[in-house]
Structure 1
Amino acid sequence: MKAKSRFEVAIKKLYIAFHDNTLNPECCKQCAVGNILDNTDSWKHLSDHHGSLKLNYIGRVHQNLGRKFNGYTPKELIQIEVIFLAACGYDLPINHQNKKPKYPKNKDVLFKGLSAVIKYLCKLEGKRNIMDYTALLKQKHYPFSIN
């Protein structure tokens, strides 16, 4: 049996979290990366600030040793989180002074973050964006009847 790719596993975890209302940008275990890493928060030790693209000493060591967490490098993980938070409406890095969404668990807010992360995950894998629906709108022949 073929093992599922990191992409398939990550997408499934994010999809389930979104629909089970367990996607939360303000919780390190329930954010995009927290969900990808099985609801753990150990990834937060890769950077000194939530929402920063700068790896700290621990992050750089893991990156330089070629370590991967559920298939993703430390740089990829913090990039995923930054993309998620920025698309949800946060000014980064997160702190008490920076702007944040009024309702961070609002489905529209989370969908924007989820869509941005999926776009990035597709880019990492060299796939077309699976969230891009514009190709469907360009079709002249519809697979269903409009009657």
Structure 2
Amino acid sequence: MNTPLRLEQALIKLYNAYHNNTLDPEDCTACAVGNILDNQDSWKHLSNEHGSLQLNYIGTVHQRLGRKFNGYSPQELLEIEKVFLMACGFETPLCHYNPKPQNPRDKDVLFQGLFAVVSLLCELEGLDNVMNYSKLFEQENNIPKYSLEKILS
């Protein structure tokens, strides 16, 4: 599989954040998009509400100019963040009175968010989800249909 550079870099950053316990859905520098954008918070100025898909004036200008941030458009960044927050159990857009997970930094909660983000990132590239290993368990006449080597290549 020929992995696009932006996907490869995003996956590495998210993987490292997850395993280094620096992935945090409530911190705009440590959430999914914050990590993809090298722990910067400037992306939060693309929308007026955290977790919204609605670009504000600044976000719209950047989108119309075709600006990319580590390879992602402003609209794609908002989509990534919304998917991450919702998969972690937050109601979006974030607000102090909206429901949120009891422990948003729980590894299982973060894994759900990470899984959803990786799925979306692969979808944005038009690729199969790299976290989908269901093919490993497909059988035909009690014989595996695919070898592990074929799936991983």
Q: TM-score range by the shorter chain?
A: over 0.9
Corresponding residue of 2:23: 23
Q: Deviations over 1:44-90 (max 9, x none)?
A: 00000100000000000000000000000000000000000000000
Q: Deviations over 1:112-143 (max 9, x none)?
A: 00000000000011110111121111143476
Structure 2-normalised TM-score? Answer: 0.89
Cα separation, 1, equivalents of 2:5 and 2:94 = 31
SS of 1:45's partner is helix
Cα separation, 2, equivalents of 1:133 and 1:100 = 29
Structure 1-normalised TM-score? Answer: 0.92
SS of 1:61's partner is helix
Structure 1 runs (4+) deviating above 6 angstroms are none
Corresponding residue of 1:128: 128
Unaligned runs of 5+ in 2: 149-153
Corresponding residue of 1:73: 73
SS of 1:39's partner is coil
Cα separation, 2, equivalents of 1:92 and 1:71 = 24
Letter in 2 for 1:117: V
Percent identity of paired positions between Structure 1 and Structure 2: 61
Matched, 1:39 2:39: yes
Corresponding residue of 1:114: 114
